[in-house]
Amino acid sequence: MKNSPSLDDQVEMYRKMILVRRLEEAFGALSKEGKTRGPIHRCDGQEAVGVAATAMLGADDYLTSTHRGHAHYVGKGVDLHGIAAEILGRSTGLCGGRAGHMLVADVEKGMIGGNAIVGAGIPAATGMALSNQVLGNDRVAMTIFGDGASQTGIWHESLNMAALWKLPVVYVLEHNEYGLTVHSSRQGPTEDLSTRAAAYGIPTAIVDGNDAIAVYRAVAEMVDRARRGEGPGFVECKTYRWEGFSTSDMGGYQDPETIAEWKKRDPIEIARAALSGHIEDAKLDVVRTQAEEEVQAAMARALADPLPEFEECAYTRPYSEVL
Amino acid sequence: MAKLRYAEALNTALREEMTRDPSVFLFGEDIGTYGGVFKVSKGLMEEFGEIRVRDTPISEQALTAMAVTAAMTGTRPVLEIMYADFLPLSLDALINQASIYEYIWKEQVQMPFVLRTQGGGGAGAGAQHSKALDALVAHIPGLQVVAPVTPSDARGLLKAAIRDPRPVIFLEHKLLYNTRGEVDLEDEGLIEIGKARTVTEGTDVSIFATSKMVIEAEKAATLLAADGISAEVIDLRSLRPLDAAAIQLSVAKTNHAVVVNEGWKFCGYAAEISATIMELCFDDLDAPVARVTLPDMPVPYSQPLEDAVLPNAEKIAAAARATLG
Ligand SMILES: Cc1ncc(C[n+]2csc(CCOP(=O)(O)OP(=O)(O)O)c2C)c(N)n1
Ligand SMILES: [Mg+2]
């Protein structure tokens, strides 16, 4: 099928989804022990979106993310230990502990960056696409955002301009049914949010967000179009948030039965099932074990790393001195 | 007397005002079913229904503009903006809409809305969820801005804000919600907007503080007392209108002033207070006014970095000692 991932791509997506899942679980456990700081937004059950949507991008393509960006970071090739250390506020973190888990950036990998102002990543990627067009390069900008973010005004303003100016940007909606604690049916009148993108003349696709191959195919087509200068594309990935909104969530508003139903459709298991028959189980077990060990090692190293010391820089000196 | 958490005191005020006046309604993100991310509106949707307690999409810019015009047309909206860091999204509605209409339309309209939000650092929430943007809203003519610290003030000022005929920006702090204090529920408890509160009386130096910084200032006063310095702590409480008389009285007594605010220094809220003291109390001052604020930089995430930038009791005490020479 057109735009299908190769078997190697599939194994890599499988591996990265395991990295993300184990990372989320590790942070969930640490948070329960009181060893993390501030809220952490886990993406368990949604890994296929971030990992598969970014799988066909190069390091010089741009990605903007949200407060729930761990799968996006890993998908874009950001170093796992650097992510873990940043979330733990260590000096060895990708941003030296200044940013924290919602705001990670790694410019070399084209990941710029996490964003905790809901919706803000959408014009951010659109501006990067504008820059690509002005410079005449063939880079693509992508933004992954939620159903909640799709209710913001800047979503509409950005899509309008992207369509108007045929900007090389791909909009990936990670629809996990909730914006914080409020179900999407109480945030907007239509079930599919991509119908709004269609209203701007942007080609759209709706896919099973727990199926990495489906996500990959739909997004790859949009990325190709954008790279060819044919303008923006929009992919709506239907998925579901297994864990609470964040580690501070007191819960009580998600139906346990719905969660259980979605857990039967674990994106990692779906990816594995698609590989079996093509690659021996034993080989896939090795991939899994190695990924798990990689997470353990990254976490152990990050936990042992030092906290930063407050450094003098242009920003920390009084404004009067910097002028 | 009841001992209430700050969040409960706010909840009580909302319930009392909604019961008293059917034109009062609440809207904001996650305030309904969940009861607000800080649980301030807990139970109110069940009690008052989904028309008067409404969960909204993430649309701060539109929501704020809607609060302005809903208030203009017969209701008393109370809008919750989850974090003060999102106030920049509300600013057009506040600066270009709410602040001008009553004047330019020759008093034909009034806008009795309340915008509740919370700011400040210390929770490891990072650079986009830790700011105190008091100066941004206090800068705007036509808006009143209050920032209660005690549960009793939280209830009394919120009730007064809801009843007020003009817009009130109501600033809370994320680290105050779980603090407890006495609240006299038998009493209506209204607190006049525009009045400061003397927290501790003293004779050597006046510390003017806002929001959670009042608690740090109280701790600083204890540190200073150990050195034999008598500090007077004033909770400004009403950031605009400002209780200039209270400031003048205190500085006339102590001849030294320290201003504490969790926002940025340059063009910040503390700068306004400092300039006011200079204008009103020049002859009473024995030393320049000192400011203790956030440095002009983003709030970093990692604990040692965040600790290094936030104003605290030690920094306040050091500033007080320095002004005393
Ligand atoms: C402008 C703004 N408003 C509100 C918030 C608080 N908030 C953080 S995440 C969130 C929900 C976002 O929902 P969605 O976009 O679907 O992302 P998800 O959490 O489901 O990944 C809200 C309301 C915010 N961070 N920024
Ligand atoms: Mg969502």
Confidence of residue A314 (pLDDT cuts 50, 70, 90): confident
- The model's pTM is 0.96
Average the pLDDT over B114-129 and give the result.
98
Q: How far is the centre of ligand 1, averaged over its atoms, from the C-alpha of A117 (Å)?
A: 7
Residue length, chain B? Answer: 325
pLDDT tens digit sequence for B64-73:
999 999 999 9
Q: What secondary structure does DSSP assign to B78-122, as a single string?
A: EEEES-GGGHHHHHHIIIIIITTHHHHTTTS-----EEEEEE--S
What integer best gives the mean pLDDT of chain B? Answer: 98
Catalytic positions of B, written as ranges:
60, 129
Confidence of residue A320 (pLDDT cuts 50, 70, 90): low
End-to-end CA distance of chain A: 58
CB–CB of A147/A175 below 8 Å? yes
How many domains is chain A partitioned into structurally? 1
Instruction: In chain B, count H helices and then E strands.
Output: 12, 14
Confidence of residue A214 (pLDDT cuts 50, 70, 90): very high
What integer best gives the mean pLDDT of chain A? Answer: 96
CB–CB of B111/B167 below 8 Å? yes
The reply to whether A313 falls in a domain is no
Q: Is the same domain home to B157 and B42?
A: yes
Q: Which of the listed residues B157, B183, B209 is the one where a domain comes to its end?
A: B183
The reply to whether B146 falls in a domain is yes
Asked whether the predicted pLDDT for residue B305 surpasses 60, the reply is yes
Confidence of residue A313 (pLDDT cuts 50, 70, 90): confident
- A-chain residue closest to B86, CA distance: A117
How many domains is chain B partitioned into structurally? 2
- A-chain residue closest to B297, CA distance: A315
Q: What is the CATH number of the domain that holds B36?
A: 3.40.50.970
Contacts of A308 in chain B (CB under 8 A): 302, 304-305
The reply to whether B165 falls in a domain is yes
Q: Is the same domain home to B208 and B72?
A: no
Average the pLDDT over A250-262 and give the result.
96
Residue A113: cis peptide before it, omega within 30 degrees of 0: yes
Average the pLDDT over B116-126 and give the result.
98
How far apart are alpha carbons B199 and B252 in whole angstroms? 17
Asked if A307 lies within 8 A of B303 by C-beta distance, the reply is yes
pLDDT at B101: 97
Asked whether the predicted pLDDT for residue A193 surpasses 90, the reply is yes
How far apart are alpha carbons A275 and A273 in whole angstroms? 5
Confidence of residue A319 (pLDDT cuts 50, 70, 90): low
pLDDT at A317: 77
The crossing angle, in degrees rounded to 10, of helices A212-227 and A7-32 is 110
Q: Is the same domain home to B28 and B168?
A: yes
The reply to whether B219 falls in a domain is yes
Q: Is the same domain home to B218 and B125?
A: no
Phi, psi for residue A186 in degrees, rounded to 5: -105, 5
Greatest distance between any 2 Cα atoms in chain B:
59
Asked whether the predicted pLDDT for residue B187 surpasses 80, the reply is yes
ipTM: 0.93
Q: What does the H/E/C string look like for A242-257?
A: CCCCCCCCCCCCCCHH
Asked whether the predicted pLDDT for residue A318 surpasses 90, the reply is no
Q: Is the same domain home to B20 and B89?
A: yes
Q: How far is the centre of ligand 1, averaged over its atoms, from the C-alpha of B203 (Å)?
A: 48
pLDDT at A2: 82
pLDDT at A32: 96
The reply to whether B191 falls in a domain is no
How far apart are alpha carbons A209 and A229 in whole angstroms? 26
Parent domain of A203: 7-247+257-304
The reply to whether B41 falls in a domain is yes
The reply to whether A252 falls in a domain is no
Integer CA distances (angstroms), B276 to A170, B168, B203, B235, B302, in order: 52, 22, 20, 16, 36
Confidence of residue A9 (pLDDT cuts 50, 70, 90): very high
With an 8 Å Cβ cutoff, is B62 touching chain A?
A: yes
Residue A39: cis peptide before it, omega within 30 degrees of 0: no
Parent domain of B10: 2-183
Q: Considering only CA atoms, which of B205, B207, B217, B200 is closest in space to residue B286? A: B205
